Structure 1
């Protein structure tokens, strides 16, 4: 039987999103392993591990980092003493990836931040508009927020009773990679590598990325809907209220969580047929199946025409001019139909009660 070091055994008790530097810190502080022993095992100089330990000790000033290190530390301590595993809420890599795709997209929006209070079970992504209004964009579980902070995807720029976090450049890079991997799965490339690699720029004359033509990556800072929501008429009133924009964004969240892999521009009726075929029946649905069911319910309520325009503009992120052209409508009529569709969609979500709010 091959030899497995105690450190490797303990590492198996932790999810793969935990940075190796954080693992070294936890092994030193929770199990008492010497710096030199950790350095020999990692094949680095002892001073490297020492810097890692000191860096993570300093990062415990961050409330989210401190909380996640405490959670992971209890699990490491239990594994190191061969006791029963600590009952700690720690997301798996798949769970974190799904949450991070949803949350980091929201945090890419101008004026968006993650607000965290120590005495609250949830964190919330809020966005401040140009006129000073604050809108809630998403609700985040503490465990997922802690993991994103430990990974360096978000950073606290305003600590306090309510700490405020912004997305980092590392978070934007991670979002790009996770969205690309999710897209690969959606179009049937299940063999996509599990480890993320930075995207390499295409050289001159490189072939066109055919996957991008099948489905957008949803990485724009602002969607066509939110851009339209910022427009005002001659009287200064917004053409789309914040409630209508939130209804469209709510549908997009469910659509992306549903992982349907439908081609961009799919019509309302063909979409419903394909989505219904993918929806499993019976109890015990997972989050993807539940999201798929919510999308089907909303689009069936809208019906053809109204369902087509929200599917194109909210889910496929197609611009209004393009939607008008493909649907054979006259110029500038699309925004009127879209507003009617969003009003109907808002009423649909109002009837759902709390389930009609943005996902959290």
Structure 2
């Protein structure tokens, strides 16, 4: 059945939302991006009227992030993309709608509104191509965002990267269960990748890297890493399956990921001189 659109009818909500986003001036869009930084805020310039100064940073360090017209800030507040504290000198900060807009813009295409609600990251697919993955599903991401009593993250950047590298190798090695058909797998009927031998070599190399990493960690911690990094089991589930005391998996996971980071050569801090001695090719 064919349905004809009536002339002069109202636009659908999605079209109205897209038009509203496109109506934001470029200066307001740049100000919104500047306010998305860590602890970023804007305040009126005490010297030059009609201007906003943006500051960002944390831990007692404030860094200048640019100067913008005050009209751009008023446009963001009117569009409910930013929030202003009460008072004539109130700070201007980004709002939930503003962060959602930036996530949609970063997602782009069909994944725009999906990126608004998920933490999408792009990764390579074994055999070629790229795909999107929700990083918030990983228990490693939860540990990296969670902070302890001392204010430090439960998982440092080196341990997080080590766990993610192990997961990528396990995915490339085809060691993880799939929820659907793998249309990129090599086939014997002449279809699939143009070079099945190269795909097989990549799988074998990935399995060798996984085996070397697990051997370096030790058999007492390798099973935990397989569940945590590969099968994405939460800490509470790991404790229940192993009959461990409550909140003990967090400590063991940090030890295991620390050993894994040492195997990969990942350091928690950059060491060495701040500047290297200049060298000439003639020397």
Tell me if both proteins adopt one fold, taking TM over 0.5 as the criterion: no
* TM-score normalised by L of structure 1: 0.33
* TM-score normalised by L of structure 2: 0.41
The structure richer in helix per residue is 1
